[in-house]
Amino acid sequence: MPKRVSIGKKARFEVFKRDSFTCQYCGRTPPAVVLEIDHIIPICSAGDSCEENLITACFDCNRGKAGNSLLDVPQSIQDRAEQMEEAESQISEYTRMLATKKRRENKCIRTLEKLFSETFENQSFTDKFKRDIRTSFLTKMLSDEIEDAMHMACSRINDPDRAISYFCGICWHKIRSQNCG
């Protein structure tokens, strides 16, 4: 029978941390239970103390399993692995969607600024105004509607500051009318 090697505190803590300080058999957590380290393949069945063979178990589950071997990975670990894989996939997809949205918003803002600077030479938007367009108008209106508002403001007003104010007024009026209808 292989000799049992003591598992150090650091290794024990890393396994607990990996397993979210949760018994992998019953799902209970401290302070309701005392956690221990269990060998998936018991030492008496030639298992070793490498991290891959260690699992977090509560006192009761560890004693209940005793020296029995688990032929399959506990279902709770399989479920968690599938959930983690799904969560990773969703996070990746969400991140991709946010990047696409930001590119679309940046394109609209560049188009608006180009329209503005073609009418008012050497004029550009401040970073604050770009943020305001993104948060105030792009979340509530279609890009085409916003571009139409900029065309209208630039064609009707000869002063750049007043044109910006007029543009904002057109957009807010459109938003209010959408909310009322």
Domain boundaries, the chain: 9-71, 100-180
Q: For all residues of the chain together, what is the average pLDDT?
A: 88
9-71 placed in CATH 3.40.1580.10: no
Judged against a pLDDT cut of 90, whether residue 119 lies above it is answered with yes
pTM for this predicted structure? 0.54
What is the average pLDDT across 99-104?
A: 95
Give yes or no for residue 1 having a pLDDT over 60. no
Section 134-140 average pLDDT:
94
Hey, how many other C-beta atoms are within 10 angstroms of the C-beta on 89? 10
- The confidence score (pLDDT) of residue 122 equals 86
pLDDT tens-digit readout, 145-162: 999 999 999 999 999 999
Looking at the chain, list the stretches that DSSP marks H as alpha helix, in order from N- to C-terminal side. 9-18, 59-65, 75-119, 127-132, 143-156, 160-180
- State how far the Cα of 39 lies from the Cα of 177, in Å rounded to an integer: 66
Residue 179 is predicted with a pLDDT of: 84
Read off the pLDDT of each residue in 30-58 and give the average, rounded to a whole number.
Answer: 88
